[in-house]
Structure 1
Amino acid sequence: MTQLRTVQVLGGGSAGSSAHVRSLAGGLVARGVGVTVCAPAPLEHEYDFPGAGAHFVPVPRRSDPASVGALRTVCAGADVVHAHGLDAAVRTALAISGQRVPLVVTWHTRTQAAGARGRLLRMLERRVVRTAAVVLGTSSELVERARSRGARDARLAPVAVPPPGPDRPESKVRAELGAVERPLLTAVGKLEPGRGHGTLLDASHRWLGLDPVPLVAVAGEGRERAALQRRIDREGLPVRLLGSRDDVGELLAVSDLALLPSRWEARSLLAQEALRLGVPLVATRVGGTPELVGTAAELVPYGDAVALATAVSRLLADPERRRRLAAAGRAQAATWPTEDETIAQVLSIYDELTQPPGPRTA
């Protein structure tokens, strides 16, 4: 039997899509599928795709015109090409134009733009979903969005993330952060517009009145870091910007609460890891988050610093409520698809697209 050959294409490589492709590559290789991952070179070191058994081809980011040519060469021998995210899908659709190879596109998130850029992105979304044989959305909202753009076949495909690894001792991690005798609140995400960090800083003003004052630890990098740090210093806020971390699972595991103040999320890695670990979550009621967490988290409106501050303060004062949320979180996480189930779903779609139809029955 001829080996199925797939190409997985990543664009900028968000944490969620990159972790998913790493998991998918390992699972497909274990099932006898040949996998090539095309992504910007730095992602090879961060996610170790060759360690999963995949062949890695560095492809420049979308601003480099060489990326389409590089993808065209790699995809020429593939049975299925799978692009993750809009940027990757646009370039991949151009690269395989004229080739008889099915394109699968996974939408992990949605674009956030208005005006002329928003109109351009909607046009690109329409072009991509009409080119794809199958569009997979990680939340029901993304599936409906793909259908509204004209997708021929759009399906829900909630992706799984690997379970957290072994932790360092809690006392050591908290001591490193300066949170041994005070609550630790953790947020994770790029320091970019729409991630809700301004609202988080607004809320932290109100936590200055608590005793003890909680420490807010924010893991992530981005172009807003300098402005956020200036505000933290100027206003004396109990917030530490930690930069990029490779121990987010450990950080969450020792936290009293996890915070997700974003304007929009599909299937947040932070939310998944927090609930799996039994860490109570306070998140914005946006996008796919309510569908993901059910009743196992405190949900507040986006941009409402008072609501965020109040929800956190009440949880810190109510250990029983925190215990109930921790238990509910683990129970909710048990309903999510496993890595094996996620990989099996994707492989079944590949088989569907590459195997000839069976004979018709009378």
Structure 2
Amino acid sequence: MSHVSSQPAHGQSPLRTVQVLGGGSAGSSTHVRSLAAGLVARGVRVTVCAPTEVAHVYGFADVGAQHVTVPRSSDPGSVAALRLACADADLVHAHGLHAGLRASLALSGRTTPLVVTWHTRSHAEGARAHLLRLLERRVARAASVVLGTSSDLVERARVRGARDARLAAVAFPAPPRPDSSEAAPVHGPEGPEDPERLQHKARAELGAVDRPLLMAVGSLVKHRGYGTLLDAARTWSHLDPVPLLVIAGEGPERGALQRRIESEQLPVRLVGRRDDVSELLAAADVALLASSWESRSVLAQEALHARVPLVATDVGGIPELVGDAAELVPYGDARALSDTVVRLLADPARRDRLKERGTLQAASWPTEDETVAQVLSVYDELTGARPPG
């Protein structure tokens, strides 16, 4: 693998890169923070262009990157601000489709290489789907290299006309802790709390001390498949004790979901956006992922890391992400989902096997060092002829 040295060659200035974030989703923002830290540690100059609120949460400056405020894509001043920020860049790396479009506009008339990472894909119907295809084509063709976080995203980029599309190595770094550079242990009145006690506290708060706890996490939008989860939950009502499904997240579907839960008296709780998702997930008996499409689902990765059995839809990048460490069901099939969950709850040995497989599968995912090394090798290819500074 080619590699950019942490020290610039004699007579060369350090490689200057600009990382561009759009709306700053949790997945792409966490990835950029991790990437920035690794690049800076290897002698690369990094500027992160992102909205102020995203930079505040993810602390790009804390890992040695320069932050330049660039408004969200809907702001008309964002392209002009980005063009200025990229003026002396050797390479620009945009994360996400809208960030890729703005970066390509900002680099118009320049020969600066553009790398675009497609972390996920947008969901659109009708006329919006047509506009989305045009946007994907524009970005795919403008990029020197497209990095897709799942094989189907790589193929999608190729279909849209990418000159060079590759599978991205993406680590699962720890979530940012804005108030602490180190993850501090949780302490109770008498010292550190053990994981079992924390799990019991989480289950007690949710009302699932003496019943199975099922956990789903994600924004409350249509493609997440929460309607299917509620259909499945209706069939669990005959179990004794009745499992409790807890859904953490916010979004436009909340009202409709809550009305269904109340009118059908479903054993489901919507708990909104939470900052203790890791603790809630660790306390669950089974994690559920019902989306119509996912790339590298954060929930799936967190579940396997936390040794929580996962039932997920057999879509997008999920199969290659989880391997044999999860139960996969067809999207939209409430019966298959329900039957799988019921079987798992009745089979502790099967749950234990999934926990062991999850640990092995998680160990096979790229590390942060491997992720940075792959990106550096791409940068090296694209800037190999960079003249001395």
Per-residue displacement from partner, 1:275-328 (whole Å, max 9, x unpaired)?
122111000000011111111110011111111111111101110000001101
Q: Which residue of 2 aligns with 1:314?
A: 343
Q: Which residue of 1 aligns with 2:323?
A: 294
Q: Secondary structure at the match of 2:224?
A: coil
Q: Name the CA distance, whole Å, in 1 between partners of 2:279 and 2:37.
A: 23
Q: Name the CA distance, whole Å, in 2 between partners of 1:114 and 1:132.
A: 25
Q: Which residue of 1 aligns with 2:91?
A: 80
User: Could you tell me whether the CA contact under 8 Å between 2:293 and 2:316 is conserved in 1?
Assistant: yes
Please list every run of at least 4 consecutive aligned residues from structure 1 whose deviation after the TM superposition is greater than 3 angstroms: 163-168
Q: Which residue of 1 aligns with 2:379?
A: 350
The one of 258, 263, 267 aligned to 1:238: 267
User: Could you tell me whether the CA contact under 8 Å between 1:23 and 1:161 is conserved in 2?
Assistant: no
Structure 1: runs of 5 or more not aligned: none
Q: CA deviation at 1:239?
A: 1.5
Q: Which residue of 2 aligns with 1:205?
A: 234
What TM-score do you get using the length of structure 1 for normalisation?
0.95
Q: Name the CA distance, whole Å, in 2 between partners of 1:6 and 1:184.
A: 45
Q: CA deviation at 1:201?
A: 1.0
Is 1:58 equivalent to 2:87 in the alignment?
no
Matches within 5 A, 1:1-362: 1=8, 2-163=13-174, 169-356=198-385
Please tell me the root mean square deviation across aligned C-alpha atoms, in Å.
Answer: 1.7
CA gap 1:180/1:112 in 2 versus in 1, 3 angstroms:
same
Q: CA deviation at 1:163?
A: 4.5
Q: CA deviation at 1:45?
A: 2.6
User: Could you tell me whether the CA contact under 8 Å between 1:184 and 1:217 is conserved in 2?
Assistant: yes
The one-letter code matched in structure 2 to 1:102 is P
Q: CA deviation at 1:274?
A: 0.9
User: Could you tell me whether the CA contact under 8 Å between 2:140 and 2:157 is conserved in 1?
Assistant: yes
Q: Secondary structure at the match of 1:111?
A: coil
Q: CA deviation at 1:52?
A: 2.2
Q: Name the CA distance, whole Å, in 1 between partners of 2:139 and 2:244.
A: 43
The one-letter code matched in structure 1 to 2:50 is A
Q: Secondary structure at the match of 1:32?
A: coil
Q: Name the CA distance, whole Å, in 1 between partners of 2:149 and 2:108.
A: 26
Q: CA deviation at 1:357?
A: 8.5
What TM-score do you get using the length of structure 2 for normalisation?
0.88
Deviates more, 1:298-307 or 1:38-47: 38-47
- Structure scoring higher RCO (CA < 8 A, sep ≥ 6) equals 2
Structure 2: runs of 5 or more not aligned: 1-7, 176-182, 187-194
Deviates more, 1:53-62 or 1:97-106: 53-62
Q: Name the CA distance, whole Å, in 2 between partners of 1:185 and 1:56.
A: 40
Q: Name the CA distance, whole Å, in 2 between partners of 1:53 and 1:251.
A: 32
Q: Secondary structure at the match of 1:303?
A: coil
Q: How many residues align?
A: 358
User: Could you tell me whether the CA contact under 8 Å between 1:139 and 1:158 is conserved in 2?
Assistant: no
User: Could you tell me whether the CA contact under 8 Å between 1:207 and 1:313 is conserved in 2?
Assistant: yes
Q: Secondary structure at the match of 1:194?
A: helix
Per-residue displacement from partner, 1:9-38 (whole Å, max 9, x unpaired)?
111222211111121111112222222212
Deviates more, 1:220-229 or 1:279-288: 220-229
The one-letter code matched in structure 1 to 2:120 is T
